[in-house]
């Protein structure tokens, strides 16, 4: 999906909970906060964390200069199951 949008000329960046999966799928740009699948953009109702993740991600969209990079982000959330 990301590749299809990128091929149409629109730059993309993906927030991934499973970095190996997006690497295998051939992501052009990705970030990986320490989050469980299902809360990729951060803990529910934690506006500060979500804003941080989204802002850092969009800044990296602007800054990354080569495809295939997965940048770890310093945010951590563990779901209580």
Partner 1 sequence: MSLTVVKGLQSEIYVPVTPAPVWAPVTKKLSEMTIAIATAAGVHQKDQERFNLAGDFGWRKVDDSYAPDQLMVSHGGYDNSDVNRDINAMFPYERLHELAKAGVIGGVAKFHAGFMGGGGNIQKFTEETGPAIAKFFVEQGVDAVLMTAG
Residue 40 within binding range of partner 1, rule CB under 8 A:
yes
**C-alpha span between 18 and 23 (Å, rounded):** 9
What are the C-alpha distances in Å from 30 to residues 12, 62, 71, 81?
Answer: 9, 12, 6, 27
Q: Does 62 bind partner 1 (CB under 8 A)?
A: yes
User: Is residue 78 within the footprint of partner 1 (CB under 8 A)?
Assistant: no
- Closest distance of CB 73 from partner 1, Å: 13
Neighbouring C-alpha atoms within 13 Å toward the C-beta of 60: 23
Binding stretches for partner 1 (CB under 8 A): 1-19, 21-28, 30, 36-45, 47, 50-51, 53-55, 57-59, 61-62, 66-68, 79, 81
């Amino acid at each position: 999906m990301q590749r299809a949008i990128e091929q149409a000329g629109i730059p993309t960046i993906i927030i991934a909970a499973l970095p190996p999966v997006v690497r295998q799928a051939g992501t052009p740009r990705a970030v990986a906060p320490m989050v469980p699948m299902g809360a990729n953009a951060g803990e529910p109702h934690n506006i500060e964390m979500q804003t941080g993740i989204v802002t850092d991600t969009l800044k990296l969209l602007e800054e990354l200069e080569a495809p295939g990079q997965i940048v770890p982000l310093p945010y951590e959330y563990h779901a209580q199951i």
